[in-house]
Amino acid sequence: MTSEINRDLLLDLARLVRRYEPEDWKSLAAAFGDVDFRQAVISILNSLAQLARPRKSPPGGVKRNRTPRLMETVKIQDPEKYRILSDLRARLTSSSLFSSMGELREFASICGLEIRPGLNRTQVVPRLIEYLASLSRTEIEERLSSRGPQRRDFGAEYERWVEIILGKRKGT
């Protein structure tokens, strides 16, 4: 293949499976064996490509590959800040820290970033890491050490995670 196919496009096509009978899919597959049919499909797809509206930004508003490049810059400029953000990113992505979206949203709010409802973890974590990367290491540590709003008590588990993320133990 000469170019990468948009995964969402393939998923949308796969959703069509429920709408048609197995015989219809078999007939379509067999039709691709005909050169004239393939050329007609190529022509149709090229016409559709001209009609499609280009996206101004990816879904969720987060630019693809922005976080990895940002993290590389942080790694060069401040290795300790990189270590903190990298560890936090891994724990947030794996849900080992703030397993529910409510907890993650609350944590983002404590850090100073409001997250609109409807975003999933894969959309929230990069936004949060990008926001935190814009802060100094001291500000990040303060945000991570913050107890947050009084209406919510993260308790001992929150303190333990802060210690793990910052690599500090009490009494050191």
Spell out the per-residue pLDDT of the chain, length 172, in tens: 446 777 777 777 777 777 888 898 888 889 989 999 889 888 888 887 777 776 655 555 544 557 888 888 888 888 998 998 998 899 888 988 888 888 888 888 888 888 888 888 888 999 999 888 888 888 888 888 775 444 455 566 777 778 888 876 555 5
Do 117 and 162 share a domain, yes or no? yes
Do 67 and 150 share a domain, yes or no? yes
Tally of domains within the chain: 2
Element (H, E) at 69: helix 66-77
What's the pTM? 0.50
Do 15 and 84 share a domain, yes or no? no
Residue with tokens 């948009």: 6
Do 99 and 158 share a domain, yes or no? yes
What's the angle, vertex CA 101, arms to CA 112 and CA 145, rounded to 5? Answer: 40
How high is the pLDDT of residue 148?
46
The residue range of the domain holding 28 is 7-54
